A and B are shown apart, each in its own frame.
Chain A
Amino acid sequence: MRVWRWWFGRRGDVDEEIQTHLRMAVAERVARGESPEEARRAVLREFGNVALVREVTRAAWGWEWMERVGQDARYAVRQLRRSPGFAVTVIVTLALGLGATAAMFTVVNRVLFRTMPYKDAGRLVVIQESGRRGVFYSGVPYLDIEAWRGRAKSFEEIAFSVLAGGRTFLEGGAGAEQVEHRMVSTNLFHVLGVEPAMGRGFADDKNAGFAETGDENTVVLSDAVWRESFGGDRKILGKVVKMNGQSYTVVGVMPRGFGFPAEAKSPQIWTAVALRDSDKTRTNQSTTYETIARMKHGVSVADAEAEMKVVQVEVAKQYPDMYARDLVSSAKVKRYRDSLVGTDVRRALLALFAASGVLWLIACVNATGLLLARGTARRREIAVRGALGASRWRIVRQLLVEGLMLSVGGSVLGLALAVVLLKVFAHGLTTQLHVDGVMPDERAIGVLLGLTIFSAVVSSMWPAVVSARASIEPALRQGGAQSGAARGQHRVRGLLVVTQIALSLLLMVSCGLLLRTIYALQHVPLGFLTDHIIVGNMTIPAYKYAGQDMATELYRPLLERAKTLPGVESAALMTEVPLGTTFRMVFSFGVEGNSADTVKRRDFRAQFRAVSPEMQKVFGFRMLKGRFFNESDTPGSQAVVVVNRAFVKEFSESNDPGKMLGQRLLSLEKGKPAIVVGVLDDERQVSVAEKSQPEIEVCLPQLTPQSGFYKASEGMAMDLAVRTERSPASVVPELRDLMRKASPELGSTKFTTMNQIVEDSYGNQQIAARLLMVFGGSALLLCLAGLYGLLAYLVTQRTRELGVRIALGAQRGHVMWLVMRQAGWMLLCGSAVGLGLAYFTSRLVGSFLYGVKPHDAWTMVAVSVLLVGSGLGAAFVPARRAAKVDPMEALRAE
């Protein structure tokens, strides 16, 4: 409060007060008989130093430091306006560092530290089972959950949920829309600590968490669904809605911003889990649920996990099947937030964040060098201020304020750069990290502000102290000669440049390694063609075709029509395209028993696909042995399957594709055993970087509703792959039209190209490579600028010395060599240190690399050569200027 009173009132008062005082004193003296001038002189003499009194009086309030800082700021702005080139250089330099760090922090904050819409989210954990095969099962049967509730003491409450089978279509105001349908235990919202915004939610079955009888067909909507599909109808509670043709009663609407799982890809709805017979046993048919539990206060994740490991041993013993028991002998507890992001993604993000920090450091070092140079140029001005009575601290403070202004300018520009960077990488971020709309939020801006102040202090403190400590007298003398202190400063600046070079080399080596990785990935022989293929990922409203054969009702007409489109060479249907990520099926043998052979069989996992015979025409892959599906494979003919080379290798002891042909592996339906009719050459179907997985394919036309595979293959998702020379922009609308005619829900199918899918499959490395290119490139630029700046400055300082040398007969070439030698020394030292650093830290990116080792000598040498080469190039300009020094000019007395 006092500040306001002072600022607006008393500040100006003192002057008037003093003037009034003087006037009254003069009036009194005049009244006593003195002349006005004499009176005035006497009064002033008596009063003392008016200005000083005013200062001291003002100081009595204690707020004048604010005014001084304002003065400093105004002066700083004036100075900077006078040398715009310098100001712009420093601002751009700092902007690069601050912008990169701000962008990376935004991403890291959003992905790793996102705030979740739950109460006290730090205590929410996920419990998983693990065992012999080293795989973690996040789905567990209900009986295990019941056992945990009884034995584990670390948790307040355990809830569970499972994704509803198939795809769910909700009929709302605008037709049927696909929603993410999750069946949850009735205590789930309670565990999360969030109450529905409308309605009461699910009726709580006090113990088990299952829906009470009669309450099974209740649904809770998310805010998004409520607004979009039902227009925010206030009377929605109690209404009946249809999902997949079934009726459900709405019992609640969750608040805005709530989602479970935390980041959902489609609008969400939740229904209560119904207790089924399969939940009373532990078999292959039991539904497996994902758990989420709230730990008690004061329990740490490590404690909970230790307890669970012990409890799980007992629980595993209750499994009747020994094979299954081995698979679940241990347990793992993970924080819910951590379970949303994979460890290698987390590590990669942190590594990239560190890289942006390195760039920031380089930028600050550059800024320091520039400020040091400027301090030397302003030697005289600062000496004058010191001579006039400014204390050292005052000078330092003024230079710090200048540094702060530059830093603030840099952070504004940096924020703009960060936004641009995030926009450029938006697609990659959405596909790889499942976050969209990543923009700096309050936390990111707060961190940026803090970093700005930190940068200002780091980069300008030292030049400020150096300037303030410089002795006044030599600076005021005409023609300030180089003193010993300046020599030390040059050495220090040289050291700064060496540091910059080392750090830049570090970034550039990582960049080089990743670029080589991308190159290698782009040239991996995929085993199939990818050009000119358009892919549509369909979600199938299976409920509309209950009782019908989707192969004949939906798929065959769709495929025929697609083939007849103009420009389409061939079209095929398959549950998933190679390298796709929308729908994956894994096949395992359903054998029983525990002998070594059967265990080996039971452990076997293969990728499973249902494809139409035209797939070979679209993708053009090779058959190693035998044939692929063709038109002769119909529901009436012999059932056939196709496997790939990796399957043969893992499955049979002989590893001979020829022997595989004709073998009976599985039955499409009762009484219809399928034989292997062909072996595919290996193809990359999971990810470009991983080697080929075992795969087994069945022929789509051969799957009838009687087949065990029918529901899963045909009823959920299907990809349409179309080979055409036409551009996607022209064909996609026609395909979409086709699909809508077949079934209205298919109108919202997502279309993309095969090339894009391939690129997305190594999208992680792609983003990292691009980011590191930006960082590495900026670092190189800053480095060269720093080197150039220092050398140019040194040449200016040594003008007289060089003039003397030339006058005494030194060749121009020799003078150039002098300058280049200095540059060369710095480059060599920097490169050596940088290579050392790179050697130790490239291990961090090791998990990202493909086709190149972290300590690849070629990359390191190439990058060093690039750096040294461009450094020498940057040094060339000052060197030539040095050689051009005119001895007469230089020797003339200044």
Chain B
Amino acid sequence: MARKSEYRNRVELVQGTLDMLVLQTLQWGPQHGYGIVQALHTHSGEVLQVETGSLYPALHRLERQGWVRSEWKMTESNQRARFYRITAAGKKQLASDHDRWRLMVGAIAAVMQKTGSTE
């Protein structure tokens, strides 16, 4: 059924990971919500399709924490959209998130490798 194939691309992301990805995207320059979705989709090799239902809450959460700032600007197609940009505090948070992520990845990889060798 058509619906199932649509959802195939959705990957469940832990909340913290979504924050990190958004911050990373904004690292490349200020962007509006739709643009962030597209960017993530493109740069992940069309694997990650962020659910908008989680994106906007995440963006507002980040703004509340002071890691991003937002303002109304005009896009290329002359539409008014809310552009988000990362702040200095956000950059620090991104760095620490990235470190934690690398730690997580390394730990999981170690576990998976171990299981493979004992077989």
Q: Which among B51, B57, B80 has the greatest number of chain A C-beta atoms within 10 A?
A: B57
| A256 interface residue (CB < 8 Å to B) | no
Q: Beyond A20-B34, A25-B34, is A53–B56 a contact (Cβ under 8 Å)?
A: yes
| A586 interface residue (CB < 8 Å to B) | no
- A47 near B60 with CB under 8 A, answer no
| Cα separation A732 to B37 with both chains bound (whole Å) | 94
| Cα separation A613 to B113 with both chains bound (whole Å) | 125
Q: Which of B6, B32, B58, B60 contacts A20 (CB 8 A)?
A: B32
Contact-residue size bin, chain B (C-beta under 8 Å from the other chain): 20 to 34
B44: chain A residues within 8 A (beta carbon): none
| Cα separation A582 to B32 with both chains bound (whole Å) | 86
- B57 near A56 with CB under 8 A, answer yes
| Cα separation A52 to B53 with both chains bound (whole Å) | 8
- B60 near A53 with CB under 8 A, answer no
A18: chain B residues within 8 A (beta carbon): 56
| B61 interface residue (CB < 8 Å to A) | yes
| B98 interface residue (CB < 8 Å to A) | no
- A24 near B60 with CB under 8 A, answer no
Within 57-73 of B, Cβ neighbours of A (below 8 Å) are at 57-61, 63-64
A17: chain B residues within 8 A (beta carbon): 33, 56, 81-82
Sorted from nearest, which 8 A-B pairs have the closest CB atoms?
A60-B60, A48-B53, A24-B34, A57-B56, A60-B61, A21-B34, A60-B57, A57-B57
B118: chain A residues within 8 A (beta carbon): none
| Cα separation A23 to B53 with both chains bound (whole Å) | 16
Q: Which of A27, A48, A59, A62 contacts B52 (CB 8 A)?
A: A48
B75: chain A residues within 8 A (beta carbon): 24
Contact-residue size bin, chain A (C-beta under 8 Å from the other chain): 20 to 34
B58: chain A residues within 8 A (beta carbon): 60
Instruction: Say how far A29's CB is from chain B's closest CB, in angstroms.
Output: 12
Q: Beyond A48-B51, A53-B53, is A23–B60 a contact (Cβ under 8 Å)?
A: no
B59 to chain A: closest residue by CB:
A57
B60: chain A residues within 8 A (beta carbon): 10, 14, 57-58, 60-61
Q: Beyond A2-B64, A60-B60, is A24–B53 a contact (Cβ under 8 Å)?
A: no
| B115 interface residue (CB < 8 Å to A) | no
- Tell me the interface secondary structure of chain B in the complex: helix
| Cα separation A56 to B61 with both chains bound (whole Å) | 10
| A343 interface residue (CB < 8 Å to B) | no
| A889 interface residue (CB < 8 Å to B) | no
A49: chain B residues within 8 A (beta carbon): 53
Instruction: Say how far B50's CB is from chain A's closest CB, in angstroms.
Output: 11
| B79 interface residue (CB < 8 Å to A) | yes
Measured CB to CB, the residues of B under 8 A from A are: 6, 32-34, 51-53, 56-61, 63-64, 75, 77, 79-82
Chain A, 770-782, contact with B by CB distance < 8 Å: what is the 0/1 string?
A: 0000000000000
Q: Beyond A25-B34, A60-B60, is A20–B53 a contact (Cβ under 8 Å)?
A: no
B34: chain A residues within 8 A (beta carbon): 20-21, 24-25
A27: chain B residues within 8 A (beta carbon): 77
Q: Which of B53, B63, B64, B77 contacts A62 (CB 8 A)?
A: B64
| A592 interface residue (CB < 8 Å to B) | no
Q: Beyond A25-B34, A53-B52, is A59–B57 a contact (Cβ under 8 Å)?
A: yes
| A690 interface residue (CB < 8 Å to B) | no
Q: Which of B32, B52, B59, B82 contacts A47 (CB 8 A)?
A: B52
- B57 near A21 with CB under 8 A, answer no
Q: List 25 A-B contacts (CB under 8 A).
A: A2-B64, A10-B60, A14-B56, A14-B60, A16-B80, A17-B81, A17-B82, A18-B56, A20-B32, A20-B33, A20-B81, A21-B56, A24-B75, A46-B6, A46-B52, A47-B52, A48-B51, A48-B53, A49-B53, A52-B53, A53-B57, A56-B53, A56-B56, A57-B56, A57-B59
B57: chain A residues within 8 A (beta carbon): 53, 56-57, 59-60
| Cα separation A23 to B75 with both chains bound (whole Å) | 12
Q: Beyond A60-B61, A61-B64, A62-B64, is A20–B56 a contact (Cβ under 8 Å)?
A: no
- A13 near B82 with CB under 8 A, answer yes
| Cα separation A52 to B51 with both chains bound (whole Å) | 13
B32: chain A residues within 8 A (beta carbon): 20-21, 24
A62 to chain B: closest residue by CB:
B64
Please name 13 further chain A to chain B contacts, defined as beta carbons within 8 Å, in addition to the given A48-B52, A57-B56, sorted by A numbering: A2-B64, A10-B63, A16-B80, A17-B81, A21-B33, A24-B81, A46-B6, A46-B52, A47-B53, A48-B51, A60-B57, A60-B58, A61-B60
- B52 near A60 with CB under 8 A, answer no
Instruction: Say how far B100's CB is from chain A's closest CB, in angstroms.
Output: 22
A47: chain B residues within 8 A (beta carbon): 52-53
| Cα separation A49 to B54 with both chains bound (whole Å) | 11
B82 to chain A: closest residue by CB:
A17
- B64 near A60 with CB under 8 A, answer yes
B33: chain A residues within 8 A (beta carbon): 17, 20-21
